[in-house]
Copies of this chain bind each other. A is one copy, B any other.
């Protein structure tokens, strides 16, 4: 089983029994999400920017929207921490300390670099669309060189990554026994809602196969994982 090798930077210190470093766990979480929190620092000031991302092999990609501040400092590669997390439930106990959350998360470390060259950026843009909606790029109006030039694409090879998962029930303490407050878990589920076709854009018909993972009621993480499996990056 391929795994990331944790260092002081990425080793989980708090509750290490919840940690994992294998690619299957890390990639499983990364492929279940579309919104990452990208952290970087400028002169010691941290910034955490939410942004859409995707993964290809050991690389993460995102594009320049809202990243201008960071792009100004990328240069030869700025250290970055990309974190993806999902809230899965509220843990309600019988003492304050026992209250918790169920979650899945990954922290990935590396250096952000700009993707250089119009064709490489065009490939990255198409891969991003394809990763979310497999087979869709050929159905779209092709991006002009001007559009591609206006879009900064960032790539980061994952140097280290750790996953952390809590998925159990209430971690009851012996001292809580005899207390009668309701105790249990409220699960949290994120799902796709009813599609809203854009009005006035012609007879587009129902969503096409590239959009099939996003059927109403499907769990978001399952939709994104299915879309990732169907995708075929070209780069």
Residues of A within 8 A of B (CB): 9, 12-15, 34-35, 37-41, 44-50, 52, 64-69, 79-83, 85, 87, 89-90, 92-97, 99, 101, 103, 105, 107, 109, 125-126, 128-129, 132-133, 136-137, 139-144, 147, 151, 164, 169-170, 172, 175-176, 178-198, 201-208, 211, 214, 220
Contact = CB atoms under 8 A, between A and B. Distances in A.
A184 B169 contact: no
Q: How many copies does the complex hold?
A: 2
A83 to B, nearest CB: 4
Contact of A96 (B47, B95, B137, B176): B137
B183 A194 contact: no
Contacts of A38: 48
Given A14-B64, A37-B39, A45-B81, 9 more contacts: A35-B103, A37-B37, A44-B79, A46-B79, A48-B81, A95-B140, A141-B179, A180-B204, A189-B193
